Amino acid sequence: MIERSESGSGGTEWWRQDKAALATSLVKREEAVRRLQAEQGAILAEMASRGTMAEYGYSTLDALQIDLLRISRQEANRRTARAMGCHDVRGIGSSLVPAAAPATAAAFAEGAIGTEHVDTILKTVSDISAHVPADEEQAKPKRDLRWGWRRNGRLAFSGEFDPETGQQFLAALSPLSKPRPAQDGERDIRTTAERNGDALAELIGLTLASGELPVQGGERPNVIVTLSYDALKAALDQRGQAMLGDLPISAQQARYWACDAGVIPAVLGSEGEILDLGRNERLVTLAQRRALELRDKCCIKCGRPPKWCHAHHIIHWLDLGPTDIDNLCLLCTACHRLIHHSEWRIEMRPNGIPLCIPPPWMARAEPRAA
């Protein structure tokens, strides 16, 4: 517990203390701060294991910290890495990912070392070279890919490529994963993992859009989302459910995909009959897209460049929202998902500028205008 200090208002009068008392008090407070930071890491690790960030509508623990704690993306990334390295975390399929440095975590919890010590140790552990297989083993062709659906609807996958395929994969991914400075010169704040994930998603999108994939059932690959009429009209209150193939997804997710993507929404009646099969097209025209970029200039929530943004319907077009500039705004992929899966909302101000309104539980946050 940190002692209360209110100099000049009945608290500790530091000017009366001798040098030994000052030094001792400083050390005690440093140790207390370190213990609190270690405890905060334990909380973050538990949130990661439970998927608490997803329950609040956030895709990553970093994103939740940025809004909740008002810290930078870099600081959030450091805190997450520190928490993951110091604590056991439940990973894909509830498998346990053990702490990389449990002894370091114990010293941190006692206040014996600080965050810089922890970060240095974790980096050293990470940099230790793994066992290098024999040349003949390395040369064997090997290409395998495994995937599985998580309970939260996300696809987890892993695999391995032989050296030749690995080089081809990196050659395709590298141009798309490079940092992209904003138009004002501000550096790309995405982590390496985020840039790689965005690059792979973009590569998949480019491949689907190319029209070069083999036909399947007489047509090019499409994504069809089925949902009941009641779920379609449900408000964003977690009640509605849709289906992506045999996988249940929320109506919010269906709305997100159908907002500005090549997704065909199929609306079903009470007996499963198809009431409506939507259009497989982007509803925002090129001229509207350019007008949005001129008005919003960036993602209206986080400021990412227009190139990374979707055109979001403030009133969803499935809810008869018009596809015009006064009902559209730019949102990057992460913020677009957040708006559809959380209590964040967007209002259009009388001057025609969209405004992001934070959820009620984030009372300290101020509305954000484009």
Output the 3-class SS for the chain. Answer: CCCCCCCCCCCCCHHHCCHHHHHHHHHHHHHHHHHHHHHHHHHHHHHHHHCHHHHCCCCCHHHHHHHHHCCCHHHHHHHHHHHHHHCCEECHHHCEECCCCHHHHHHHHCCCCCHHHHHHHHHHHHHCCCCCCCHHHHHCCCCEEEEEECCCCCEEEEEECCHHHHHHHHHHHHHHHCCCCCCCCCCCCCCHHHHHHHHHHHHHHHHHHHCCCCCECCECCCEEEEEEHHHHHCCCCCCCEEEECCEEEEHHHHHHHHHCCCEEEEEECCCCCEEEECCCCCCCCHHHHHHHHHHHCCCCCCCCCHHHEEEEECCCHHHCCCCCHHHEEEEEHHHHHHHHHCCCEEEECCCCCEEEECCCCCCCCCCEEC
Domain span including residue 297: 286-369
pLDDT band at 319 (very low <50, low <70, confident <90, very high): confident
pLDDT (0 to 100) of residue 258: 58
pLDDT (0 to 100) of residue 290: 86
Count of CB atoms within 10 A of residue 16's CB?
A: 7
254: tokens are: 């269906």
99, 31: one domain: yes
| Count of domains forming the chain | 4
Rounded Cα distance between 246 and 56, Å, is 25
74, 46: one domain: yes
pLDDT band at 7 (very low <50, low <70, confident <90, very high): very low
Query: What is the residue type of 2?
Result: I
32, 93: one domain: yes
57, 108: one domain: yes
Count of CB atoms within 10 A of residue 82's CB?
A: 24
345, 291: one domain: yes
84, 187: one domain: no
88, 169: one domain: no
- Cβ–Cβ < 8 Å for 68, 76: no
- Cβ–Cβ < 8 Å for 296, 370: yes
pLDDT (0 to 100) of residue 218: 46
Per-residue pLDDT tens over the stretch 298-311: 999 988 888 778 88
Per-residue pLDDT tens over the stretch 152-209: 778 888 888 887 788 888 888 888 888 876 555 667 778 888 888 888 887 887 676 5
End position of a domain, from candidates 277, 295, 314? 277
169: tokens are: 């994969």
Better pLDDT: 228 or 292: 292
Residue 266 phi/psi, 5-degree rounding, is -105, 120
204: tokens are: 């998949």
pLDDT band at 3 (very low <50, low <70, confident <90, very high): very low
CA-CA distances (angstroms) from residue 316 to 68, 72, 311, 339? 27, 31, 11, 12
Mean pLDDT of 253-258: 60
Give the range among 101-105, 121-125, 355-359, 362-366 with minimum mean pLDDT. 362-366
pLDDT band at 270 (very low <50, low <70, confident <90, very high): low
CA-CA distances (angstroms) from residue 290 to 139, 296, 303, 307? 50, 10, 17, 11
Query: What is the residue type of 57?
Result: G
pTM of the predicted structure, to 2 decimals: 0.55
Better pLDDT: 328 or 136: 328
**2: in domain:** no
pLDDT (0 to 100) of residue 279: 47
pLDDT above 70 as % of the chain = 68
Candidates 274, 269, 257, 264; CA nearest to 233 is 269
Rounded Cα distance between 345 and 204, Å, is 29
**153: in domain:** no
Per-residue pLDDT tens over the stretch 113-123: 999 999 999 98
42, 122: one domain: yes
Mean pLDDT of 135-157: 73
**100: in domain:** yes
8: tokens are: 């000049």
At residue 108, does pLDDT exceed 80? yes
* Residues in contact with 311: Cβ distance below 8 Å, sequence separation at least 6, in sequence order: 259, 260, 284, 288, 289, 292, 328, 329, 330
**218: in domain:** no
Better pLDDT: 284 or 132: 284
pLDDT (0 to 100) of residue 282: 45
230, 298: one domain: no
254, 351: one domain: no
**215: in domain:** no
Residue 43 phi/psi, 5-degree rounding, is -65, -45
Per-residue pLDDT tens over the stretch 54-107: 888 888 899 999 999 999 999 999 999 999 999 999 865 567 888 989 999 999
At residue 133, does pLDDT exceed 90? no
End position of a domain, from candidates 277, 295, 310? 277
Count of CB atoms within 10 A of residue 311's CB?
A: 22
**146: in domain:** no
**292: in domain:** yes
Mean pLDDT of 234-256: 52
220: tokens are: 């090019």
292, 272: one domain: no
Give the range among 150-159, 232-241, 350-359 with minimum mean pLDDT. 232-241
Mean pLDDT, all residues of the chain: 77
pLDDT band at 237 (very low <50, low <70, confident <90, very high): very low
End position of a domain, from candidates 277, 295, 312? 277
At residue 134, does pLDDT exceed 80? no
Distance separating the N- and C-terminal Cα atoms of the chain? 42
Per-residue pLDDT tens over the stretch 10-19: 578 889 889 9
pLDDT band at 132 (very low <50, low <70, confident <90, very high): very low
Count of CB atoms within 10 A of residue 365's CB?
A: 15
**53: in domain:** yes
242, 317: one domain: no
